Amino acid sequence: MSDVLFDILRKVTTATITTMLLKKGIRRCWMNGPKPLSASGERIVGRAFTLRFVPVREDVATIESWGSAISTRAAIEEMPAGSIAVADATGVPTAGIFGDILCARMKKRSVAALVTDGAVRDRAGVLMSALPVWCAGVASPASVNGLTFVGWQQPIGCGGCAIFPGDVIVADDDGAVIIPQALVEFVAKEGAEHELYESWVFSEVENGVKLPGLYPPNEDARARYEIWRKSRP
Amino acid sequence: MSDVLFDILRKVTTATITTMLLKKGIRRCWMNGPKPLSASGERIVGRAFTLRFVPVREDVATIESWGSAISTRAAIEEMPAGSIAVADATGVPTAGIFGDILCARMKKRSVAALVTDGAVRDRAGVLMSALPVWCAGVASPASVNGLTFVGWQQPIGCGGCAIFPGDVIVADDDGAVIIPQALVEFVAKEGAEHELYESWVFSEVENGVKLPGLYPPNEDARARYEIWRKSRP
Amino acid sequence: MSDVLFDILRKVTTATITTMLLKKGIRRCWMNGPKPLSASGERIVGRAFTLRFVPVREDVATIESWGSAISTRAAIEEMPAGSIAVADATGVPTAGIFGDILCARMKKRSVAALVTDGAVRDRAGVLMSALPVWCAGVASPASVNGLTFVGWQQPIGCGGCAIFPGDVIVADDDGAVIIPQALVEFVAKEGAEHELYESWVFSEVENGVKLPGLYPPNEDARARYEIWRKSRP
Amino acid sequence: MSDVLFDILRKVTTATITTMLLKKGIRRCWMNGPKPLSASGERIVGRAFTLRFVPVREDVATIESWGSAISTRAAIEEMPAGSIAVADATGVPTAGIFGDILCARMKKRSVAALVTDGAVRDRAGVLMSALPVWCAGVASPASVNGLTFVGWQQPIGCGGCAIFPGDVIVADDDGAVIIPQALVEFVAKEGAEHELYESWVFSEVENGVKLPGLYPPNEDARARYEIWRKSRP
Amino acid sequence: MSDVLFDILRKVTTATITTMLLKKGIRRCWMNGPKPLSASGERIVGRAFTLRFVPVREDVATIESWGSAISTRAAIEEMPAGSIAVADATGVPTAGIFGDILCARMKKRSVAALVTDGAVRDRAGVLMSALPVWCAGVASPASVNGLTFVGWQQPIGCGGCAIFPGDVIVADDDGAVIIPQALVEFVAKEGAEHELYESWVFSEVENGVKLPGLYPPNEDARARYEIWRKSRP
Amino acid sequence: MSDVLFDILRKVTTATITTMLLKKGIRRCWMNGPKPLSASGERIVGRAFTLRFVPVREDVATIESWGSAISTRAAIEEMPAGSIAVADATGVPTAGIFGDILCARMKKRSVAALVTDGAVRDRAGVLMSALPVWCAGVASPASVNGLTFVGWQQPIGCGGCAIFPGDVIVADDDGAVIIPQALVEFVAKEGAEHELYESWVFSEVENGVKLPGLYPPNEDARARYEIWRKSRP
């Protein structure tokens, strides 16, 4: 089932997704922080694989910790193909949680994307790895310079949103949104319908129709839309 | 008159405009927040048509409110051709005040540009609408996710500046500045003269002249400039 | 000596430099704020020539002050060829400390780059000057709109780092880092070695090797690396 | 009617009020910013009389503007007895919107309180005026130093909340909350009931009962509470 | 052992503790955020019992969630007597994580204190509960208004510090510091000695001795201190 | 002369001082950050003795640096009696620049007060030293934890203001303001006169006079004031 829904979601903008979630009373679904490292126009959909950092402490966040059992390296090996790694870096802008090597390994493992409220490092190398990245910035220092990695697949916060492992993430040029698992079907189906409606509105606007009465539609506009809607193959 | 002045202002950088305003004791004229959504090198000049938002309240900022008499849709229909919509979004980064459809309608109505200390949504669609936009970011959620629209053509704050309806806005790759109505003529004329002087300074620098004594000019530099100035057609 | 070290550093990423400095217990070496005005992929190395601003005070930060003995104009004439101007603008985002003319003069004097936690003005003109710039933003107003210039070649803060005149600055697409004078040789030599190691790791990752045991290396990986290392010309 | 409801609300904590509003889906009702200038334990209830400021502009925010028709002085004369002045100072911390003289005049006019996301000035004098004040700080400079006053009884934002003229404000040592007019009766009645329930819970806790099962109550706790509730006069 | 060390630590200021930790290279040990709700002059020492929140999501952070198995209520029942509850509220200032009832229950269970980078609610009631509290503010709304509770006894961040369950917390009027378990003995013993030295320095200052040469001590001062030190009972 | 002016200034509120400075076009004179550590109602006047910090760098900001020639200890010995130490701590909240011992030494040397945009440490001890302190907070860690001391009697920024050695500082419960040397006489004399006028206004308000026409005064009010003014001894 989720494959079909994911295919649908790949054609629904994150803007539309937030509007669908608002219908269910959810306003906290867009992450404030993660932006595309390179705006490509692409939209990525996948299940969240969460990573969690806390602030640095000099006795535990060391270069040596990279080799410990609880390390970002170990976490990457647990990521399922197609998942989206979502990292809670507590918004720290001064440490790049991942660089070219870790991103390359993720790409190799068919991870779909990296989303974080923190920074990545080695911008050129990360771009070269071809892993799609949404982050809040770029910083030279390693994660241990400002952060301590503490685990994966736990509930996290990212950009003001709560993310639970398995939630669905959609990311495009507007940023990244989270869809609670229970609402994925609703959002995909209503969202696709809404996109259709907006494409009709857009063409009406191109024809010079004014927005009041059109968007949202009054009775007349609704009727005209229904005709157009039915006329489509 | 204002047409002529606007033509002049189109050739005066916002950097120069702020220097002219400082001569009149005005330091708060550049909006901290709005940046070109896409740096084009173009400079836009127009009168401010103001829009005002306050924070969201769940009982009033609803999807339904889009159809009310006080809505952004209704406001757009009031905007004169050539005006610049300036929206006080109270700096909220988590709600896109306008998306592709509203921008397309503004473009259709010959609105010159949109300037806001908030975000827009549907980045790709907004760019496609061809409306020049200066904003503080991009966010998927709709305005009602974080803001309540309360009216238009009132005094507003935007990016730390006070904007009154009818003030003149100039926006280029450095951002957007406001010129109080009473100072438009002064700024245009002195500004144009200042641009001329700076172009001469730039050529002097290219020739290896050092800045002390040149910029600001001592007596000798002033004399040389006057000669150059007069030699121009 | 420093020429040779600088040549080495030009091939060491700022990411690697911060890792080398962390080995010496230094975590505060990457400036949070300065970003490339235009990401070019180039890496610049040079000694810091410091500039210091304090907040604006209306009786001293005036257009007239540009002609005083303590002015940015005068400071530029003191900058040695190849130095990197590092300006403490106290993070003020609303005043552009330098514009096209000052950048052009710096370029003429063979200054290697400008790094600041503040803004520059006249973005188009600054880009045209061809001076590489790392800054925290762009703003139309002049420095005197928000800042008072108080001197050069003093210890400063920039982006959360302490910078002393003569410290070595390296800047690339990830931002700018400071290397204390006493550590330049260590960082250059160890850094170059580390780059080599990372290039080998990267090729291993391309070959499908997983990171635990590889980065950081276990005994086996270390041995394989040594063989590869020795096989290089 | 509202007198009776206001009497009830004077005994309902702002903490309880926010919980009642959450039952109606309203999360944005507590103003982030205004704190009691002097925590007195008192709770004030009244209708909002709104004041609106925008940022300073040097040509309009002058000492002379204090005498204009649109001034804080004129606004004060319009405030009904018992109302609470709520001032949108856009969170500016560097200008005291009101000092001892204006507060004394408000007190004289039987204004119930002043609530603002900005600062007041002349702390000692304001305390002496005996007007209850919730503000975000104290600052020596006058409002015109950082703000321009633009009008009263318009919708405003204050501390992240939307406030409409006539909304009910309740303020105590936890800060200030806004109750939309349509929900005042619900909040007062349910709130009073909730306070009763919490007082019983508190006595249970004092008796050593643990919270799971008690707060929120399971069936048994609910039954015990009902008995206690009925036993009250 | 830890009882003896805790008794010693109760006489060592948090200021001295941070200086001892700096000797071990630890600069991130004082939490930026938690302040005494009511400065009492008391110093509290205990082991950290951690609580973790992530941002609100409207479908999970509900009033109903207070009754779930993973709730703050359930967490409190797990807290050992003498422990200090340290809550990672991600610095959210707009939701009070605990109010009078939860604090009263903690007090009843002999929890030593509550430390958080968030807010508490019902200030008057919390003070009445007599539980010592270090928090970043006061807010009327409940935790579910802005936060989702996700678990206890996990590593957390609080005020820019990493806290692991079992770390030792010391809190006084300057705020709260964390001592990694492995350093508790060092800090207690060296800290007590340092306090003694500072008390001697203070008396010297009272006698008019200047600080250079005294603090830090030169050879002469060190000798005089040793004599004084030995003369003590 | 300055003794007489300082005596006058001790009776002029910082609120009035900022209004007088605004008459001279100076809006940046109140420091945003320093607050009285303990609001006493006292007003302190003195000449600024400036101290300057930059951010920490681990190789220079060490406990050992306390004994170096450029140290806060050495700076204190240079402070003239009656001066006010103004410390630019770059707004860092996580390091207490001074504690009980340094404050005690300053008190011993008859320094009038300490003003900083940073924090102090050992709150209880600082209060006991009886040195009046305006600071932005309290923090346990020493200055070297977050800052590097670089010198004294240089121009500094503090709380958004430019301070030059010798400027006059006035601090009371509203905070601290800076008066440029050239304006001290104007501010003292006009300020004293303004205080007189405000005391008359206050009594008028007590008598029920409304503010429009009174403050600022219309012709009638001005006449009444002149009579009152002349009737005073």
Give residue F209's pLDDT band: very low, low, confident or very high (50, 70, 90).
very high
Report the C-alpha gap between B2 and F123 in whole angstroms: 61
Tokens read off for C15: 């990411």
pLDDT of residue B68: 86
Other Cβ atoms closer than 10 A to C67: 17
Other Cβ atoms closer than 10 A to A35: 21
Give residue C39's pLDDT band: very low, low, confident or very high (50, 70, 90).
confident
The ipTM value here is 0.95
C210–A contact, CB cutoff 8 A: yes
Strands A137-138 and E133-135: what pairing? unpaired
Task: Tell me the per-residue pLDDT of C114-132, one tens digit each, with 9 for 90 and over.
Answer: 999 999 999 999 999 999 9
Report the C-alpha gap between C46 and B61 in whole angstroms: 54
Tokens read off for D92: 């500016």
Please report the DSSP string for B167-229 in residue order.
-EEEEETTEEEEE-GGGHHHHHHHHHHHHHHHHHHHHHHHTT--STBBTTB-HHHHHHHHHHH
pLDDT of residue D214: 94
Task: Tell me the per-residue pLDDT of D45-99, one tens digit each, with 9 for 90 and over.
Answer: 999 999 999 999 999 888 888 788 899 999 999 999 999 999 999 999 999 999 9
Task: Tell me the per-residue pLDDT of B9-52, one tens digit each, with 9 for 90 and over.
Answer: 999 999 999 999 999 999 999 999 999 999 889 999 999 999 99
Of A63, F89, A73, the residue nearest C27 (C-alpha): A63
| DSSP symbol at F59 | T
pLDDT of residue D211: 95
In chain B, what is the greatest distance between 2 CA atoms, to the nearest angstrom? 68
F219–D contact, CB cutoff 8 A: no
> What does the mean pLDDT of chain D come to?
95
* Pick among E28, E30, E62, E178 to test the A interface (most A CBs inside 10 A): E28
Cβ-Cβ contacts under 8 Å for E149 (sequence gap 6 or more): E51, E52, E53, E61, E65, E70, E71, E72, E75, E143
pTM of the model: 0.97
- A122-141 residues touching C, CB cutoff 8 A: 122-125, 138-141
- D130-189 residues touching E, CB cutoff 8 A: 160, 173-175, 177
Tokens read off for A142: 């390693």
Q: How far is F83 from chain E (nearest CA, A)?
A: 18
pLDDT of residue D1: 56
* Pick among C140, C144, C147, C148 to test the B interface (most B CBs inside 10 A): C140
Tally C-beta pairs within 8 A across D and F. 90
Of B36, B67, B15, B214, the residue nearest B137 (C-alpha): B36
Q: Name which residue leads in pLDDT, F3 or B117.
A: B117
Report whether pLDDT(A1) > 70: no
Contact B28 D58 (CB under 8 A): yes
pLDDT of residue B63: 81
Tokens 């010309």 belong to residue: C233
Nearest residue in F to D58, CA atom: F25
Report the C-alpha gap between E81 and E109 in whole angstroms: 6
> What does the mean pLDDT of chain A come to?
95
pLDDT of residue F137: 98
Report the C-alpha gap between A61 and A64 in whole angstroms: 8
Give residue A212's pLDDT band: very low, low, confident or very high (50, 70, 90).
very high
H/E stretch holding A199 reads: helix A184-206
Q: How far is E155 from chain A (nearest CA, A)?
A: 7
Other Cβ atoms closer than 10 A to F9: 26
Give residue D121's pLDDT band: very low, low, confident or very high (50, 70, 90).
very high
Of D175, D159, D155, D150, the residue nearest D167 (C-alpha): D155
Distances (CA, A) of A206 to A197, B101, B109: 14, 9, 11
Query: What are chain E's partners, defined as 3 or more CB pairs within 8 angstroms?
Result: A, D, F
Bridge partners for E58 per DSSP: none
Whether residue E30 contacts residue E14, with contact meaning beta carbons closer than 8 Å, is answered with yes
Q: At how many degrees (to 10) do helices E2-9 and E184-206 cross?
A: 30
Contact C173 A138 (CB under 8 A): yes
Query: What are chain C's partners, defined as 3 or more CB pairs within 8 angstroms?
Result: A, B, F
Q: Which of C43-47, C163-167, F112-116, F229-233 has the lowest mean pLDDT?
A: F229-233
Whether residue F59 contacts residue C22, with contact meaning beta carbons closer than 8 Å, is answered with no
With a pLDDT cut of 70, the percent of chain A lying above it is 99
Contact D18 E145 (CB under 8 A): yes
pLDDT of residue E143: 95
Report the C-alpha gap between B147 and B71 in whole angstroms: 12
Sign, CA torsion C131/C137/C138/C142:
negative
Whether residue C171 contacts residue C40, with contact meaning beta carbons closer than 8 Å, is answered with no
pLDDT of residue E65: 81
Whether residue A179 contacts residue A29, with contact meaning beta carbons closer than 8 Å, is answered with yes
Tokens read off for E34: 């938690």
Whether residue C92 contacts residue C147, with contact meaning beta carbons closer than 8 Å, is answered with yes
Other Cβ atoms closer than 10 A to A136: 21
Could you give the residue ranges of the DSSP H alpha helices within chain E? 2-9, 14-23, 72-78, 100-108, 123-129, 184-206, 219-231
Of D29, A157, D24, the residue nearest E148 (C-alpha): A157
Task: Tell me the per-residue pLDDT of F138-195, one tens digit each, with 9 for 90 and over.
Answer: 999 999 999 999 999 999 999 999 999 999 999 999 999 999 999 999 999 999 999 9
Look up residue C233 and give its amino acid.
Answer: P
pLDDT of residue E107: 98
Tokens read off for E109: 């269970």
Q: Residue by residue, what is the 3-state secondary structure of chain C?
A: CHHHHHHHHCCCCHHHHHHHHHHCCCCCCECCCCEECCCCCCCEEEEEEEEEEEECCCCCCCHHHHHCCCCHHHHHHHCCCCCEEEEECCCCCCCECCCHHHHHHHHHCCCCEEEECCEECCHHHHHHHCCCEEECEECCCEHHHCEEEEEECCCEEECCEEECCCCEEEEECCEEEEECHHHHHHHHHHHHHHHHHHHHHHHHHHCCCCCCEECCECHHHHHHHHHHHHHCC
Give residue C232's pLDDT band: very low, low, confident or very high (50, 70, 90).
confident
Q: Using a CB-CB distance cutoff of 8 angstroms, which residues of chain E are in contact with residue A90?
A: 90, 157
Residue ranges of chain E with per-residue pLDDT less than 70:
1
Contact F202 D145 (CB under 8 A): no
Whether residue F49 contacts residue F164, with contact meaning beta carbons closer than 8 Å, is answered with no
Contact F28 C58 (CB under 8 A): yes
Tokens 């702002």 belong to residue: D14
Tokens 């009154």 belong to residue: B164
pLDDT of residue D2: 76
What value does the mean pLDDT take over residues C20-38?
97
Q: What values do phi and psi take at D138, rounded to 5?
A: -130, 140
Give residue C1's pLDDT band: very low, low, confident or very high (50, 70, 90).
low
pLDDT of residue B1: 56
pLDDT of residue D35: 98
pLDDT of residue D203: 94
Tokens 């806004």 belong to residue: D178
Q: Name which residue leads in pLDDT, A1 or B178.
A: B178
Report the C-alpha gap between B76 and E195 in whole angstroms: 69
Give residue A217's pLDDT band: very low, low, confident or very high (50, 70, 90).
very high
Report the C-alpha gap between E53 and E98 in whole angstroms: 12
Q: Which of A64-73, D185-194, E137-146 has the lowest mean pLDDT?
A: A64-73
A100–C contact, CB cutoff 8 A: yes
Q: How far is C155 from chain F (nearest CA, A)?
A: 7
Sign, CA torsion D200/D203/D204/D205:
positive
Q: Using a CB-CB distance cutoff of 8 angstroms, which residues of chain C are in contact with residue A145?
A: 18, 22, 27, 30
What's the half-sphere exposure (Cβ side, CA atoms, 13 Å) at C28? Answer: 22
Report the C-alpha gap between F81 and B23 in whole angstroms: 41
Whether residue E179 contacts residue E16, with contact meaning beta carbons closer than 8 Å, is answered with no
